[in-house]
Amino acid sequence: MLRNLWIVLVLLPGPQLCAQTVELLPPGENLVGEPLSLRITGLPPDTDVVLFCELVDRHGRLWLSEPKFRSSEAGEVDPALQAPIEGEWTNVDALGPLWSPTRRTQKNAHERPAGGMAERWAFTAIVEGRPVATASTLRWYRRPEVEEIDLGAEGVVARMFAATGDEPRPGIVIVPGSSGGLPVMEAELLASHGYATLALAYFGEPGLPPDLERVPLEYVERALEAFQDHDRVDASRVAFLGGSKGGELTLLIGSRRPDLAALVAVVPSSVVFQSISDRWERTSSWTVEGEDLAFVPY
């Protein structure tokens, strides 16, 4: 007969008992466009891990991706060092979690983060179908301290932004390309980096030419001068920024305004091209004193 038999149960820690952590670098909130990377630590080695990436953008739309990784011998997953074994991308890419999500809902399906001034990210590590660690952050397009300011220029279609305070700031005028509109997102973001910014429309808005056809450069210069004269702007440090057709405009304005401190022309043209309208008439995109600037036809 066996007496005093002791049965000892040894509990082997499963994945859920490890000290898993999703680390965001840098920690805390930051701006859209600033570096952001993540790493998952405390995992069992050589284990399949799904990185569930969830974005609610500034318009209240949900975006998702679910790449799968194999944890390293040290029990880590780091997209900057490892490629997914399944998912939306196949190479080592630290930014993969940020660009890989695809849209799942329409506008306003979810509450807009910070009233539409930021986007909310959440990253969850999933092992054997169970979430074991998560981290979230806000990425701002427009920090709370950035305010909209009245330019005070009649007939100019624009929106001006700067952080609170009375000190003059270096300024940036931002113009759109052939899609038109007001480049407000770029203006808000650059204002969050400490600039005074002006999102300027030059066609397709009330009171402006309906098409990108025979736009007077005097209108653009009048807006620029009103911005330079504003007491929140350091007139000696004003830049002009535009892309595509806006890059063409940037170089034109730069050729006429030596007082500008910098030009940022993104994919511009080296010449003036024909106007863009439904009629596709042989006219210039720009005028000076009512006369067409010489242009290259399409």
201 closest CA partner among 212, 189, 190, 214: 212
- Say which amino acid occupies 193: H
90 closest CA partner among 69, 71, 72: 69
**Is residue 131 within 8 Å of 122, Cβ to Cβ?**
no
Would you list the DSSP string of 184-217?
HHHHHHHHHTT-EEEEE--SSSTTS-SSBSSEEH
Is residue 10 scored above 50 in pLDDT?
no
- Distance between CA atoms of residues 39 and 137, nearest Å: 14
Is residue 11 scored above 50 in pLDDT?
no
pLDDT at 19: 86
The model's pLDDT over 215-246, given as tens digits with 9 standing for 90+, comes to 999 999 999 999 999 999 999 999 999 999 99
Q: What's the rounded mean pLDDT across residues 115-136? A: 97
Residue 148, SS3 per DSSP: strand
pLDDT tier for residue 197 given thresholds of 50, 70 and 90: very high
pLDDT at 6: 31
Go through 162-189 and write b for each residue having 16 or more CB atoms within 10 A of its CB, e for each that does not: bbeeeebbbbbbbbbbbebebbbebbbb
The model's pLDDT over 270-284, given as tens digits with 9 standing for 90+, comes to 999 999 998 888 999
- Mean pLDDT across the chain: 93
Going 110 to 114 to 117 to 122, the CA torsion angle's sign is: negative
Write down how long the chain is.
Answer: 298
Q: What's the rounded mean pLDDT across residues 241-265? A: 98
Q: What's the rounded mean pLDDT across residues 23-36? A: 93
**Is residue 14 within 8 Å of 20, Cβ to Cβ?**
no
